Structure 1
Amino acid sequence: MENRTAAIAPRLRASWQRSARYGVALDEVQPVFTGSLDTESLFYQCGNEVLDGLRTTLVNEPVSLMITDADGLVLSRLCDDGSINRSLDRVHLAPGFSYAERDAGTNGLGLALADRAPSLVRADEHYCTELRGYTCAAAPVLDPLTGELAGSVNLTTWSHSSSGLLLALAQAAAGNTAALMLSRAGGRRMRPAPRGEVFHVYADNRDEAGRCPSSLWQNALTDAREAMRAGRVIAVVGEPGAGKTALASIARHELGRERVLSARPPAPDDIDAWLALWTPELSKDHTCVVVGGADTLPAWAAEELAGVFADARRTGPQPFVLTAEDFARIPRALSSLVDAVVEVPALRFRPEDILPLARHLGSRDRGREIGFTPAAARALSSYHWPENVKQLKRIVREAVRRADVVDARHLPAEVFSGGGHRLSRLQALERDEIVRCLTEPGATVVRAAAKLGMGRATLYRKMAQYDIKVPR
């Protein structure tokens, strides 16, 4: 296999090497089968609709159109060509079977999911000889609201009839699927794409440890400090915005490092430049590197980064930390370097931390001490914070622009509603106006109903509809 891998592109070569480590058979494809398919998801419905439209334009072409979930499980296959359908059945490229790299070796959809990048695998570029009669083009689909990997769009044809347009069609179908998902998600704003940031440097700030007095935070901080003191590589996991990088930043003092370099993965096309620009910092004994979103790195980039990290460890105590939502999703090349996993609990489980953090964030934004009335404090403490500290930071910044002593009426309406379902623009405006009337000084339900021009029973019904709770 050495001679064969030497002749192919670096991404494909890395995929072949992973396939060999997974123990994938060279001569026979043996994908895992599951009878449970998620056909109710927004991704499935939108992806199937886009591919059904594409099928009408390719009606006389021997091209099979597929969507898979984020784990490589084939969810749907659309094709009007009987011969290619029968052939794909023989290699189990059909709904219910997994074509992830670890199950089927190097193939188009498996590579697109592993690297989170559009991929074209032709004929003998497939790891398994049984797949070399096909050319596969695939593109990943990211959830437009969360940025998470939703799945992939895959187009497969005969290797001898391969078209240069195949990958372009797959990318267009993936983009149309994401756009359709967004349009049907209640008009919410799309999550911004990676901006290609190189890194951000945090200055020394030792008093941050006391900002969160809860036992859950302090226990996680103690675990991180002990692991660093022992020279271990740490993965800090938790929900987005929970404070993973902040915890690593505080704990790194155990290494005697004065500053933190925080690097987050950019767009896939920028990975090479991203690595080249900040990895030299690993050799500096005053810097601790935190690589955020390690579970979103393409597999090939993770392997390259793992090699850089392995070299850095030979010079002394580990100078880097990984953060991720889910440790299980960190590429194996990086996760194998981790000695300890520290979980940062979500802010909703740490109500004791909310007010101290709010005061700190408000004072930092305004440059002076900021206060909160009891009503505002109760509202902040009882809210469930789905976006964690990131959301708290945004809400406090908005409130302290209006007053140095924040009252309930200075807080945005989202703090007083459950947010269990998506609202249209008109519904959001109505909810916001109800909250504004209910949080005015001296407000009662009767006064608010009169001001809104509705009956008290109607107002109670609206409060229940929007799950509005205004602490007294």
Structure 2
Amino acid sequence: MERSAHEVAVPARLRASWQRSERYGAPLDEVEPVFTSTVDDGSLFYECGHEVLENLHQTLANEPVSLMLTDSEGLVLSRLCSDSTILRSLDRVHLAPGFYYSERNAGTNGLGLALADRAPTLVSAEQHYCAGLWGYTCAAAPVVDPATGVLLGSVNLTTWSQSSKQLLLAVAQAAAGNTAALMMARGSGRTPRPAPRGEVFRVYSDRTPSALPLSQGWRQALAEAETAMAQGRVLAVVGEPGAGKTALASLARRSIRPRERVLNARPPAPRDADAWLALWAPELGKDDTCVIVSGVDALPASAAEELADALAGVPASAFTMTADDHTAVPEVLAELIDAVVEVPALRYRPDDIEPLADHFAGRRRFTPAAMRALTAYQWPGNVKQLREVVRQAARADVIDTRHLAPEVFSGATHRLTRIEAVERDEIVRCLTQPGASVAKAATMLGMSRATIYRKIAHYDIKVPGR
């Protein structure tokens, strides 16, 4: 099969894209994009873009439109869509997270051309170079870093080719603009706390490290929780965010009642408090069921009062509470608490880092240098941060220092601006490459050795072996 720009009336930009696609050797019949399991979902661009698309998705939830975020190379980072039919169809052409959809990989398509020309683009039906994409209309708009002008990626909206497309490109442009605006608003380095969503889910035993050889600090807290529960006391488990409060409460319950069902109810947004409580309150008091109510110190006063009323009529064995700070627990709930157990922060139990990291890594293993870096770090985000760092690094079978997040090598005590964080990350990336040295890193970054030494000291960068 041969494609020619004369077969379909196309604008000059599309014609040029077809020509590039032909030079690249892009497939004509079936899309065969490159796949990677490495997707950067920790950047400010991803955070802001995904948030914008999630809000847009709520508006378009009943429409057969797939909302996607890609990086500057056309790698699909995320995809949001509620229409199962179009999702299955997109899966067949690999328009899904982890696949590259640049012109070079997929020929002329909306997001690929938007990235190539750095301009909003609409590609519909037979305007696509590959016949496998003729069933779709793709509208995409590039996202440019508002501070540096660097191309970061694109926002892409895909629907059926026969669907109305008049507003599709405008919506894509608005989403791209909102992403850039949100990045600018957050570019000072301040990281907003995730909005509470009030999830309620079951805690399974295989998700908690019950058999790990953890430290005395953890074992003591666990023993105190088990004792309080065995005595029928209302327990509050407290500690820093991410320290493992829910995990400890769940392990303690199962040590007493191994076959018990454990539910975790996380705090909701204030406007959703009534629906949140109605969702899981009927589970209270059921035989062999315990509810761990998380973050009670973050509840609005009205929600705390309703929760206290619901808890007052059930036995102590039916629930456990967690909080970051027991002194901030609303008074109506604090009056119910008979015992408080504190989970030590991870920095106070460094012996737990290695077994937890191995547990999170599964079958993958760490090099000695990588493990030294993990155990030397202070982990301000506690176990939750460790789990996330290992999850990102575990795309490699053997995890070395170069696979770890740059934050692990920095002991900077002040909050970094976005530009500082990028600079620190680049220095760490260069220093963790095989055979790297300060001199080589300076050359790669275009800095003098004196400057890079000063930067290393400024960010308190510590790389094992350097």
Q: Give the TM bin, normalised by the shorter chain.
A: 0.5 to 0.7
2:164 maps to what in 1? none
Q: How does 1:77-88 map to 2 (within 5 A)?
A: none
Structure-2 residue corresponding to 1:211: 212
Residue 206 of structure 1, CA deviation: 9.0
1:196 Cα offset (Å): 3.6
CA drift at 1:370: 1.3
Task: Determine the C-alpha separation between the residues in 1 that align with 2:288 and 2:207.
Answer: 15
Contact 2:412 2:458 in 1 (8 A): no
Tell me which residue corresponds to 1:160.
none
Shift of the alpha carbon at 1:372? Answer: 0.5
The one-letter code of the counterpart of 1:361 is F
Q: CA deviation at 1:254?
A: 4.0
RMSD: 2.2
Q: Deviations over 1:330-349 (max 9, x none)?
A: 11111111111000011111
Alpha-carbon contact 1:204-1:259 (below 8 Å) kept: no
Cα distance in 2 for partners of 1:357, 1:189 equals: 26
Q: Which residue of 2 aligns with 1:432?
A: 425
The answer for the alignment partner of 2:439 in structure 1 is 446
Q: Which residue of 1 aligns with 2:203?
A: 202
For 1:196 and 1:252, the matched residues in 2 are separated by 22
Q: Which amino acid aligns with 1:329?
A: A
Give the superposition deviation at 1:183: 4.8
Which of the numbers 444, 464, 470 marks the counterpart of 2:463? Answer: 470
- Partner secondary structure for residue 275 of structure 2: helix
State the AA in 1 paired with 2:307. Answer: L
Paired residue type of 2:350: P
In the alignment, structure 1 residue 347 sits paired with structure 2 residue 346: yes
8 Å contact from structure 1 (residues 186, 422) kept in 2? no
CA distance in 1, matches of 2:313, 2:293: 16
Measure the CA separation in 1 of the matches of 2:381 and 2:354.
16
State the 4+ residue runs in structure 1 displaced beyond 4 angstroms. 182-185
> 1:383 is matched by which residue type in structure 2?
Y
1:360 maps to 359
- Structure 1: segments with no counterpart, 5+ residues: 1-178, 364-368
1:384 shift after superposition: 0.9
CA distance in 2, matches of 1:221, 1:405: 32
1:191 equivalent among 190, 193, 196:
193
1:326 alignment counterpart:
325
Question: 1:451 is aligned with what amino acid?
Answer: M
Match of 1:411 in 2: 404
Q: Could you give the per-residue CA deviations for residues 141-183 of structure 1, whole angstroms, max 9, x where no partner exists?
A: xxxxxxxxxxxxxxxxxxxxxxxxxxxxxxxxxxxxxx99x95
Corresponding residue to 2:269 among 233, 257, 267: 267
Between the aligned partners of 1:222 and 1:208, the Cα distance in structure 2 is 15
The superposition leaves residues 178-236 of structure 1 with CA deviations (integer Å, 9 ceiling, x where unpaired) of x99x9588243322212243x11112349722335111001100101111111111100
One-letter identity of the residue aligned with 1:341: V
CA distance in 2, matches of 1:404, 1:386: 26
The answer on whether the counterparts of 2:236 and 2:321 sit within 8 Å (CA) in structure 1 is yes
Alpha carbons 2:188, 2:418 under 8 Å: kept: no
The one-character-per-residue Cα deviations of 1:319-363 (angstroms, maximum 9, x if unpaired) are: 111100111111111111111100001111111111111111121
Q: How far did residue 293 of structure 1 move?
A: 0.5
Q: CA deviation at 1:302?
A: 1.6
Q: Distance in 2 between matches of 1:212 and 1:354?
A: 11
Q: 3-state SS of the aligned residue for 1:337?
A: coil
Say how many residue pairs are matched.
Answer: 283
1:466/1:269 CA distance change after superposition, 3 Å: same
Deviation of residue 374 (structure 1)?
Answer: 0.7
Moved more, 338-347 or 446-455: 446-455
1:280 match? 282
Q: Distance in 2 between matches of 1:393 and 1:326?
A: 23
| Partner Cα separation in structure 2 for residue 378 and residue 425 of structure 1 | 27
Q: Using the alignment, how far apart are the partners of 1:424 and 1:205 within structure 2?
A: 39
Post-superposition CA distance 1:395-438 (Å, at most 9, x none) = 1111011x111000111111101232233333222211111111
- Separation (CA, whole Å) in 2 of partners of 1:457 and 1:372: 32
* SS of residue paired to 1:342: strand
Paired letter, 2:442: A
- One of 361, 372, 381 as aligned partner of 2:366: 372
Deviation at 1:267, TM superposition (A): 1.2
Report the counterpart of residue 448 of structure 2 in structure 1.
Answer: 455
Aligned residue for 1:228, secondary structure, equals helix
Which SS does the other structure have where 2:390 is aligned? helix
| Aligned residue runs from structure 1 range 8-407, under 5 A | 183=185, 186-197=188-199, 199-205=200-206, 208-211=209-212, 213-256=214-257, 257-313=259-315, 317-363=316-362, 369-401=363-395, 403-407=396-400
Secondary structure of 1:208's match? coil
| Deviation string, structure 1 residues 108-147 (Cα, Å, up to 9, x no partner) | xxxxxxxxxxxxxxxxxxxxxxxxxxxxxxxxxxxxxxxx
| Contact map agreement 1:228 1:254 (CA 8 A) in 2 | no
SS in 2 for 1:471: coil
Cα distance in structure 2, aligned partners of 1:425 and 1:305: 40
Which residue identity is paired with 1:397?
A: R
Q: Secondary structure at the match of 1:470?
A: coil
CA contact (8 A) 2:198 2:265 kept: no
Specify the alignment match of 1:421 in structure 2. Answer: 414
Once the two structures are superposed, residues 379-402 of structure 1 have per-residue CA deviations (whole angstroms, 9 ceiling, x without a partner) of: 10011111111111111111011x
Contact 2:197 2:266 in 1 (8 A): no
Q: 1:325 to 1:185 in 2, by over 3 A?
A: farther
Q: Would the aligned equivalents of 1:236 and 1:341 in 2 still touch at CA under 8 Å?
A: yes
How far, CA to CA, are the matches of 1:206 and 1:409 in structure 2? 28
CA drift of 1:451 comes to 3.0
